Amino acid sequence: MQLRIGYIGLGLMGKPMARNLLKAGYPLIVHNRSRAAVDELVAEGAAEAGTPRAVAEHSDVIFTNLPDSPDVEQVVLGADGILEGASADSIYVDNSTIKPETARKIAVALEAKGIHALDAPVSGGDVGAIAGTLAIMVGGPKDAFDRALPVLQAIGKSIIYVGESGAGQVAKACNQIMVAAQMVAMGELLILAQRTGVDASLVIDAIQGGAAQCWTLDVKPPRLFAGNRQPGFKAHMMHKDLGIVLDTARTYGMPLPSASVHTQLFEAMLQLGMRDLDNSAVLAVYEALTGEELLEKAA
């Protein structure tokens, strides 16, 4: 029998991910705080539910994709939440980026009712969400992962089981250390190249073939040179994720000096009123510091 899928949280990432589950042929029921995304997916064949509990009551696998740890706790453990509606042996999959401790707390609460929890944060931005090529890093019971894998393959390309509950969120924290470093480094090099009078777009072409090659340089410069700083992945979410990184580091007594500096740069973005711009727009902090604005290039 085909698994019934529920998806809660239809934002910039969640909506295209839910759509890909629908395209893969899974019966889909959705819930979201705002109506527009729900109406869009219902028009494409999904059903809707008024509460997370109702989603869980009609799903074998229940996904969430929400902004932060308190949001996930409320939707799963709160009134009319997933815990109240899910049946024993169902699988809960959280695509949000939250604290590893929160993921473990939720897993324990669900397991007490026989519900299996997977923390499965994703990476790849809106481009990967739309294309179904996300990287998915998963923590939780291995048997639940094996059962959920065919469903995950509808939304992701690289799907790695990392370990027990919380391990997926640890992997995502590590991922965000690297993402922030790449975004900051790209901003620095673009502004430096332009300040010296060298064509920054040609610098990107030159260094992509060497050791500097990375996803960020492959994807982000064309958008920036076109004057497009829309998300993508919003700066305030990058800042939130870096907060999780630093909280996790403090928990384990580990200094992270570069991540701390990168967090300050994204904090500056928020202070400059750029919270909803793409995380690659961190180069705007360097523009503000230097007075050098990145020039747009003709297509």
For 86-144, the pLDDT digits (tens) are: 999 999 999 999 999 999 999 999 999 999 999 999 999 999 999 999 999 999 999 99
Residue 299's pLDDT is 56
- pLDDT tens track for 249-277: 999 999 999 999 999 999 999 999 999 99
Which residues make Cβ contacts (< 8 Å) with residue 197, sequence separation at least 6? none
Residue 297's pLDDT is 84
The number of CA neighbours under 13 Å toward the Cβ of 85 is: 23
Cis peptide before 209 (omega within 30 of 0): no
Active-site residue, selected from the candidate residues 172, 220, 234, 240: 172
Q: Which of these, 30, 34, 33, lies nearest to 54 by C-alpha position?
A: 30
- Residues forming a β-bridge with 87: none
CA distance 104 to 98: 10
CB–CB of 152/248 below 8 Å? no
0.85 exceeded by the pTM? yes
CA distance 164 to 107: 10
CA distance 201 to 199: 6
* The two structure tokens encoding residue 288: 């503000």
Q: Is 172 annotated as catalytic?
A: yes
Residue 1's pLDDT is 67
Ranges under pLDDT 70 in the chain: 1, 298-299
Alpha helices in the chain (DSSP H): 14-23, 35-43, 52-57, 69-77, 82-85, 100-111, 125-131, 142-152, 167-195, 200-207, 215-225, 235-251, 257-271, 283-290
Q: Which of these, 126, 148, 127, 128, lies nearest to 139 by C-alpha position?
A: 148
Q: What residue ranges define each of the domains in the chain, with the CATH number in brackets?
A: 5-165 (3.40.50.720), 171-290 (1.10.1040.10)
Residue 289's pLDDT is 96
